[in-house]
Amino acid sequence: MDFQVKFDINDRIYLRNPESSEVGKLMVKKSIDLIYELGFEHFTFKKLALEINSTEATIYRYFENKHRLLLYILNWYWSYMEFLLSIKLENVSNKKERLKIVIHLLTHELDESANKFDYNKRFLNQIVISESSKTYLVKEIAEINKNEWFKPYKDLCSMIAKVISAYNSKYKNPSSLSTTLIETSHLQQFFSVNLPKLTDVAPQKNAEFTSDFIEDFLFKILG
């Protein structure tokens, strides 16, 4: 699939909407590339400024700090995931197949876009797997949550919970299970590549291990 889409990101995350200018759009695109390449700990506005041939002061006009920039990127990602899931489920009536679509989306890399101005979806996927917990495992979580900065993530979880409930209406914890599916898929993908002894992944079979594990886990719970 190839979509060129825009989402309304919570305006409390940024100081100036990066979608409002070419330098802002480039800022987000290049920050994704750099965070993927360097890791969030080593990513700085100074390095980003060099990458976009601009200044740190320009970046600070858009984002208060790099944590806010990461939140912006993740909000876009979760909105995109909800958008993709709604399209993939649109004409599928079989309840088990709908759950399998959810699993596939959570455990496989996203399709790349042909649009040169679009974000690198593969890099985004890897950033979410390795860096997303750094946006909510922080002391300021209560304030961040009060500002609804996790709404796209919650919306995606809610959509998945509805698919779970449609499959088994008697299951009492669909919301908890939906977040468990997402977070477990991240951990197992990360561990299977970087810490394989924490998993049961077989050599040369990383690509399908997490998908198979999540599917077995989910359907044994739901019956």
Residue 113 in contact with residue 3, Cβ under 8 Å? yes
The reply to whether 18 falls in a domain is no
The reply to whether 185 falls in a domain is yes
Stated pTM of the model: 0.90
CA angle 57, 62, 64 (to 5 degrees): 80
Q: Provide the residue range defining the domain that includes 147.
A: 73-222
Q: Which of 53, 32, 164 is nearest to 100 (CA)?
A: 164
Q: How many domains does the chain have?
A: 1
CA distance 158 to 178: 8
The reply to whether 147 falls in a domain is yes
Mean pLDDT by 10 residues, the chain (223 residues): 68 93 94 95 97 96 95 94 94 97 92 66 92 78 78 95 97 96 94 91 78 95 93
CA distance 82 to 197: 32
Contacts for 5-8: CB closer than 8 Å, 24+ residues apart? 5/80, 5/83, 7/75, 7/76, 7/79, 7/80, 7/83, 7/152
The reply to whether 207 falls in a domain is yes
CATH number of residue 93's parent domain: 1.10.357
The reply to whether 28 falls in a domain is no
The reply to whether 25 falls in a domain is no
The reply to whether 60 falls in a domain is no
The reply to whether 178 falls in a domain is yes
Residue 2: predicted pLDDT: 44
The contacts of residue 58 (CB under 8 Å, 6+ apart) are 23, 49
Tokens representing residue 135 in the block: 């946006």
CA distance 50 to 37: 15
Integer angstrom CA distances of residue 8 from 14, 23, 115, 153, 194: 12, 18, 20, 14, 34
